[in-house]
Amino acid sequence: MTHSTQKPRKEPAPGMVEKRGAGLWMTHAIMILGVFVVFFPIWLAFVASTVTQQDIVSPPMPLLPGDQFFANYKEALFSGVNVPVMTMLLNSLVMAIGIAVGKIIISLLSAFAIVYFKFPGKQIFFWLIFLTLMLPVEVRIVPTYEIVAGFGMLNSYGGLIFPLIASATATFLFRQFYMTVPDELAEAARVDGARPMRFFKDILFPMSRTNIAALFVILFIYGWNQYLWPLLITTDPEMNTIVMGIKQMFPSGDDVADWPVIMATSILAMIPPVIVVISMQKLFVRGLVDSEK
């Protein structure tokens, strides 16, 4: 059903069911209103990131941008509250790319093994991997935390990345895809005496490129938006990711929060995933539909 995203829409019969004239304007008006309502929180955050603290703490704050854009973003990026936002952005980038790339690599390989080989214990491994689909990290936080602490991986990229790679969604996606690859290709490769890894490298991997890209978009956003896990294992501000670091920027007690800097940080935190989603919209929709199936 959802496959049809990419299908071109059939030419409509003129004037039969589509709105025209006043009705068409009504339709546009509703859509614009919808976009406005959905977009308002982001707009407000952007405005807040361009005005002074004084503008905000004496409500109502203005609804149009001020002239403090450079001052606020400079302060956020290079000083921040606990740690420069630049550092947090870098940490988030390493984590998101690490999770996306790590998950794609291990799943490409294990799906290849499951689909193209017969080996002892294959079914057991298959079901073990299948089980990992079931349990989000939120549910097993305490024991996972203890393990990562035991490995001395608190406040490290390894600790941020590895526990979130342990899930089988990507493996299943690639397994599904490999099953659709014509058998003749593997047969031809075998007749030619090509080794399995050569077949993987020269034929299977290039064929999977679109799937890999679509999956990368989804996994990048998944990794970037993680909150609970980084909150637990990064006690050192230098290792904070931007999404979890924002909460740490709020003062405890009754002090007034530094809203312009916090809002500038919020905007900075959403820019990378928004760029990825918007610029790769087609791939993104496809990845979403594939990975949720």
Partner 1 sequence: MEKRVTFRGWLLPLCLIAPQVLVSAIFFFYPAGQAIWQSLFIPDPFGLSMQYVGLGNFEYLLSDPYYRASFVTTAIFSLLVTVVSMVPALFLAVVADRLIKGAGAYRTMLIWPYAVAPAIAGVLWLFMFNTRVGVVSWYLGHLGYDWNHVLNGGEAMGLVVVASAWGRISYNFLFFFAALQAVPKSVIEAAAIDGARFWRRFWTIVLPLLSPTTFFLLVVNVVYAFFETFGVIHTITSGGPQQTTTILVYKVFSDGFVGQDLGSSAAQSVILLVVVGALTIFQFKFVERRVHY
C-alpha span between 102 and 253 (Å, rounded): 40
**Smallest gap from residue 12 Cβ to partner 1 (A):** 6
The Cβ-side half-sphere exposure at 270, using a 13 Å CA radius, reads: 11
Q: Which residues fall within 8 angstroms of residue 105, CB to CB, at 6 or more apart?
A: none
**Smallest gap from residue 135 Cβ to partner 1 (A):** 6
**Smallest gap from residue 222 Cβ to partner 1 (A):** 10
The kind and range of the H/E element at 87 are helix 85-116
User: Taking Cα atoms as reference points, which of 4, 69, 76 lies closest to residue 258?
Assistant: 76
**Smallest gap from residue 2 Cβ to partner 1 (A):** 5
Of 40 and 78, the one with the shorter C-beta distance to partner 1 is 40
Of 45 and 86, the one with the shorter C-beta distance to partner 1 is 45
Of 1 and 22, the one with the shorter C-beta distance to partner 1 is 1
Of 13 and 22, the one with the shorter C-beta distance to partner 1 is 13
**Smallest gap from residue 74 Cβ to partner 1 (A):** 20
Of 211 and 269, the one with the shorter C-beta distance to partner 1 is 269
Cα 8 to Cα 45, 93, 178, 226, 291, distances in angstroms = 37, 35, 26, 35, 22
